[in-house]
Structure 1
């Protein structure tokens, strides 16, 4: 591919000329983006600093939060910039990079959720063998697979897309997606369509099947257990189930919506918000509200920070404060 072609400008026609509606969307996007970053960074810091959270489930949650930051950063800054621009555009190379980052965000999140379901399955169905099965080495191997496989497969997809000749240079979207870029081409590639189906099967359907099988086994074991065990299983799985259903719904809505080439600025904004901002913001909030260990860690951190601030005042003993 010609290197200079990567700098070809693509027009993003979904944006309206700068006006009141754009400013409203800009403020909403800025607030949601800021809240997403703060919530996920806070969750990552809590997990890193609290030894009680150095467990496989929270390690996976940390990577889910990190992945959410990657997804939101791949879209929101450019969207906010274009909302205030009179001529929204993106270079072809930047568009392809954004496609890669967004797809990696979506597929890695799905893979992490599948590994989390496997962790819950072992925890509930094989509790006595949990520490021998879910070892730190195995968690690291699973996380390496979660990242390396999607990045490798999706890089090939973006490369194949980049080889297509362009005869159009306008995308009616707020940000780039692979289907929109492929539609800019003068030709139709059977290889790209087949490879797209392979990507969908391997990076979406396989993780979905893993989650489904894990919860079928959890349900089967739980139905034979006592009421107290059923309540504990539900409490353990509820945050993950809520997040998985929310993320799957967002993915499905986004895929169906992206099939429509004629959409309004409001529709595009709702789609992008639902896809790259709501799930990453929703994940730490759900786990923060429904997980005792994270709530306890957050309380300890806030209390320690309050004591540190108070200790800067004359006559306050920080040691006494921390012991209460």
Structure 2
């Protein structure tokens, strides 16, 4: 088996396949697990596509807040598609392996998903800050050109930084092929390196700061300003701020917890964590947002809720 996974050369080891050891053997329950995961994936795809279509076809929703929401839902589809189709195949399979190119492609999809999610939430918090704290300047600040610029930065910088990560990791000489997760993870690849991976660790740390802590700092700053205005404003101002910011804050807190669990789990010895937890933590990180956000925004924002009902009833 080892010979099929490791091709030995004179100076290095070229890994052709990785083994994902976190998959728990469920025996006869694997078909039940397959149905549950398939149901979650269909629910994610259906709910996010519905909201994307509703926002795109209704001109009344062609406003900055809803355009950023549309970008968020597109990212949910992108991120969940990086895991669920592969996971469905792995559940039915008796051998949990993944080819090296597919592994690095999965790392790229999952890492860009997380980076875009945080950046998109930061852009949305800036939009709420301008709308609540500087309402008279909103139209002059949130122009179509500014919206395109913010969305371009959100997506392109994530693709660039993660692309550099993949180039650095794919050039490593590896001395193992077992990844203790249900999907490929960059830090797990670095741990398998035969030689010094200091450059990879430093770059991964820098990227973590740029992708997580910088957006969270922007979010924290904008909400400090928003809360200051709310507490000093009228009751009507507070109610309006709460109705528009509650879904956004809930989404930020939920995703931050998911990322925190994932980072902690990746940095510690996963052999001491049970197989069930090694499966649940990544699933929470990759499914909580795509499942929660459509219902958070669909149920809390009355304009979207009304147009969704109208769209579905018209189709029925």
TM-score w.r.t. the length of structure 1 is 0.90
Please list every run of 5 or more consecutive structure 2 residues that lacks an aligned counterpart in the other structure: 1-6
Structure 1 CA distance, aligned partners of 2:315 and 2:89?
A: 35
- Structure 2 residue 282 is the aligned partner of structure 1 residue 272: yes
CA-atom RMSD in angstroms: 1.7
Contact 1:111 1:207 in 2 (8 A): yes
Residue 255 (structure 1) shift:
1.3
Residue 224 (structure 1) shift:
1.0
Residue 6 (structure 1) shift:
8.0
- Structure 2 residue 306 is the aligned partner of structure 1 residue 292: no
2:292 aligns with 282
2:270 aligns with 261
Structure 1 CA distance, aligned partners of 2:313 and 2:86?
A: 37
Which has the higher Rg, Structure 1 or Structure 2? 1
Residues 50-129 of structure 1: matches in 2 within 5 Å?
50-129=58-137
1:312 aligns with none
Structure 2 CA distance, aligned partners of 1:191 and 1:269?
A: 29
1:23 aligns with 31
Structure 2 CA distance, aligned partners of 1:20 and 1:127?
A: 59
- Structure 2 residue 190 is the aligned partner of structure 1 residue 179: no
Structure 2 CA distance, aligned partners of 1:109 and 1:83?
A: 27
Structure 1 CA distance, aligned partners of 2:56 and 2:14?
A: 39
- Structure 2 residue 256 is the aligned partner of structure 1 residue 239: no
Residue 34 (structure 1) shift:
0.9
2:4 aligns with none
- Structure 2 residue 139 is the aligned partner of structure 1 residue 131: yes
Contact 1:160 1:192 in 2 (8 A): yes
Residue 15 (structure 1) shift:
2.1
Residue 109 (structure 1) shift:
0.5
TM-score w.r.t. the length of structure 2 is 0.92
Please list every run of 5 or more consecutive structure 1 residues that lacks an aligned counterpart in the other structure: 307-324
Q: How many residues align?
A: 304
Contact 2:14 2:174 in 1 (8 A): no
Contact 1:18 1:84 in 2 (8 A): no
Structure 2 CA distance, aligned partners of 1:17 and 1:302?
A: 40
